[in-house]
Amino acid sequence: MKRRTVTKLAALALAAGFAGVPAFAQEVLKVGAVAPKTGPLAGGAAVSYWPNVKLWVSDVNGRGGLKVGGKTYKLEVIEYDDQTNPGETIKAVQRLVDQDKVKIVLPPYSTGLNLAAAPIYARYGLPMITSTTTTDKADELSKQFPNVFITLGGAKPTVKSVVDVMTKLRDRGDIGKKLAMVNVADAFGIELMNEAKPAFKAAGFELVYETSYPLGTQDLSPVVKAVKAASPDAFIAWSYPPDTFALTEQAIVEDLKVGAFFTAVATAFPAYSGRFGKSTESVLGIGGVDADGKAFQDYAKRHEQVTGAKPDYWASAMVYSSFQILEKSIEAVGSFDNPAIIKHVKANSFDTVIGPIKFDDHNNNPAFWTVGQWQGGVFKGVASTGRDGAVAIQKKGAWK
């Protein structure tokens, strides 16, 4: 009986192999992911982060799995909601490593949560290829935590590009020199605001209104009313998704007349255009992509097929690219030896959906998109630190 059973199993396995199905089940590899599903940043993570976790796992498994040292692993994700709370982010990483025994932990979402979680990733020696962090602390971070990599760029080059864009508009006569500038009061908004104020002053602009507001502020109408009363020529907000939408809505309600309107995170979301329609035309925002490039278009098509949603025109592709870098490094090293993986990430250039990425000595990507603009229903890159595909800047017309 035993002999016949083994023979039958062997025959079935052989038949399965001929049918193109693996004869034996792959070993499962647990991957940990922690990001907001609730709290103020849940909306942003739902667009830029979680769909790309799903897409990356689908792509890797679709290729047969992650190939590591002669073994092929099927990926399975364990997800935790950090509730937009740094303490919960840290606890989730600890659970993933100590209790769930995952081999890979993907970095969290947002500047603040990544910076808060950097010490726990370093404690476990985990590669931390951040994809949604904008900071000038790359030097400081890399010295303290050599496992941390910044792909989305720093505040200085981002601000420089925004200043350059506004200067071009001013020199063309599209705007004057008066600016209103606001920020969300967390790590992202504070760092960018502190960098932007002296940079705009040095470029000859006059700040006629400024303020900050707490993360999660529901009513931003008083802010926009005060901006309108100051009669600026341009408006800039270092904002996160909820406030990006709220500020834009109030600007339309108040009919804020400016020649340049810039908001930050979520300006590049398809839902932004879906919400405000033709009013988004010529709105400027942080980030961008080579929207007309084949690599992004192929990625966007696959993203929609697998997740049922369109990617955003900035962080989505960067999130996916960071997963590509991690995948390529693990396969190249041929093991889950984290020090070797970190060394490989730092030493090599990687082909990704946004183009080549190579980290410099300070673990900071020298080429990234900084400013985009809605033109003809597409958010296109207008400024970068070295990416191809930028289009010409337009003046903001009347709200539709």
pLDDT per residue over 277-320, tens digit each? 999 999 999 999 998 889 999 999 999 999 999 999 999 999 99
* Band of pLDDT at residue 396, cut at 50, 70 and 90: very high
pLDDT at 365: 61
Distance CA 192, CA 238 (A): 7
pLDDT at 366: 67
Burial category of 50 from C-beta neighbours within 10 Å (exposed 0-12, middle 13-18, buried 19 and up) = buried
pLDDT per residue over 148-161, tens digit each? 998 887 899 999 99
The CA R_g of the chain, rounded to the nearest whole Å, is 23
- pTM value is 0.84
Q: Give the least confident one: 148-162, 191-205, 320-334.
A: 148-162
Q: Is the pLDDT of residue 177 over 50?
A: yes
Residue with tokens 């922690």: 34
pLDDT at 176: 98
* Band of pLDDT at residue 20, cut at 50, 70 and 90: very low
Percent of the chain exceeding pLDDT 70 equals: 92
Instruction: Give, in degrees to the nearest 5, the angle at Cα 189 between 137 and 372.
Output: 95
* Helix, strand or coil, per DSSP, at residue 271: helix
pLDDT at 151: 86
Percent of the chain exceeding pLDDT 90 equals: 83
Average pLDDT, the chain: 92
* Band of pLDDT at residue 276, cut at 50, 70 and 90: very high
Regarding predicted confidence, which is higher, 124 or 367?
124
Q: Is the pLDDT of residue 14 over 60?
A: no
CATH entry 3.40.50.1370 includes domain 25-154+293-369: no
Structure tokens at 394: 């337009």
* Band of pLDDT at residue 22, cut at 50, 70 and 90: very low
Chain centroid, CA 69 distance in Å? 30
The 378-384 sheet, strands edge to edge: 206-213, 178-184, 234-238, 260-263, 284-286, 369-375, 378-384
pLDDT at 137: 82
Domain 25-154+293-369 and domain 155-289+371-384, same fold? Reply is yes
User: Do 357 and 322 contact (CB within 8 A), yes or no?
Assistant: no
Q: Give the least confident one: 40-49, 198-207, 337-346, 359-368.
A: 359-368
pLDDT at 363: 67
pLDDT at 303: 98
* Band of pLDDT at residue 2, cut at 50, 70 and 90: very low
Domain locations in the chain? 25-154+293-369, 155-289+371-384
* Band of pLDDT at residue 367, cut at 50, 70 and 90: confident
Structure tokens at 30: 């647990």
* Helix, strand or coil, per DSSP, at residue 273: helix
* Band of pLDDT at residue 388, cut at 50, 70 and 90: confident
Q: Is the pLDDT of residue 3 over 60?
A: no
Region 64-81 average pLDDT: 97
Task: Give domain 155-289+371-384's CATH superfamily.
Answer: Response regulator (3.40.50.2300)
pLDDT per residue over 199-255, tens digit each? 999 999 999 999 999 998 989 999 999 999 999 999 999 999 999 999 999 999 999
Pairing of strands 378-384, 369-375: antiparallel
pLDDT at 122: 97
Pairing of strands 369-375, 66-68: unpaired
pLDDT at 73: 97
